[in-house]
Structure 1
Amino acid sequence: MLTIALEQASFYAYHGLYQEETIIGNTFLLDIAVRIPDTREIDDLADTVNYQGIYEVASEIMAIPKPLLEEVVYAITTQLKERYPAIQHSLVTLRKMNPPMGASIRNSLVSLEKTY
């Protein structure tokens, strides 16, 4: 399998269950890794997953506020598979930095791994 990934893509977004999160927003870090078959040597971008395309999908999804981070990672995996049918495995991890919990916590994290 060939892995194509983005690590710690930073977004300022408005995901959250609480009203103040949808108003104030927060910093999110996103890791996305996808795997495709490596049955032959790749010498053309059309034969692989373009990491710029991965970022475009992530940007589109991150721009739409969702109450739960689980919804965000699910939407990203779904859209990536639709755009790149060759994907056989994906791992999407979303971190909300300094979640508003009244405690000193670096980040909360939701991760979704799928095999197709």
Structure 2
Amino acid sequence: MTTPFSGDRIILNDLGFYGYHGLFNEEARLGQRFLIDLQCGVDLSSPAQTDTIGATVSYADIYDVVKSAFETRRMHLIEAVGQNIVDALFTAFSDITWVIVRVRKPEAPIAMVRGEAAIELHRVRPL
């Protein structure tokens, strides 16, 4: 067994979504941009050797699951958004052994000139 968060991984960065997550009424009404970075621990030795799409988890399918998890229900906290994405990935793909997800909120309602608020979750598939 590999050490969590090491080894092969599928990486999707800067996935942009428009959503209505947040604590404030304006966030629920107007929405805002969110950016998601994702790493999924998957053994990639078979697709690397066979060059066969069926031997791996498709990053396009991962994107579809992330998009659906992000858009399915409104949440107050980006921590909950991240956990919802993790749960959906573990449910959809038995080959994913761990997930690192970062949810970034560039227009967080705080007085910053530049930057973003973000959370990052590190999760290992429950036994």
State the TM-score, normalizing by the size of structure 2: 0.83
Measure the CA separation in 2 of the matches of 1:100 and 1:114: 27
> Match of 1:111?
120
Per the TM alignment, residue 39 of structure 1 is displaced from its structure 2 partner at its CA by 4.9
Aligned to 1:25: 31
In 1, Cα distance between equivalents of 2:79 and 2:50: 33
Supply the AA of the counterpart residue of 1:4.
I
Question: C-alpha separation between the residues in 1 aligned to 2:52 and 2:82?
Answer: 28
1:52–1:106 distance in 2 versus 1, CA, 3 Å: same
In structure 2, runs of 5+ residues without a counterpart are 1-6
More strand by proportion, 1 or 2? 1
Spell out structure 1 runs of 4+ moving beyond 4 A: none
Unaligned runs of 5+ in 1: none
Distance 2:36 2:42 in 1: 20
Residue by residue over 1:21-40, the C-alpha shift from the partner in whole angstroms, topping out at 9 and shown as x without a partner, is: 11111111111110112454
Tell me which moved more, 16-25 or 41-50. 41-50
Query: Counterpart of 2:8?
Result: 2
CA distance in 1, matches of 2:44, 2:36: 25
Read off the aligned partner of 2:54 and give its amino acid letter.
A
What residue in structure 1 maps to residue 64 of structure 2? 56
Tell me how many residue pairs correspond in the alignment.
116
Counting aligned pairs with the same residue, the percent is 28
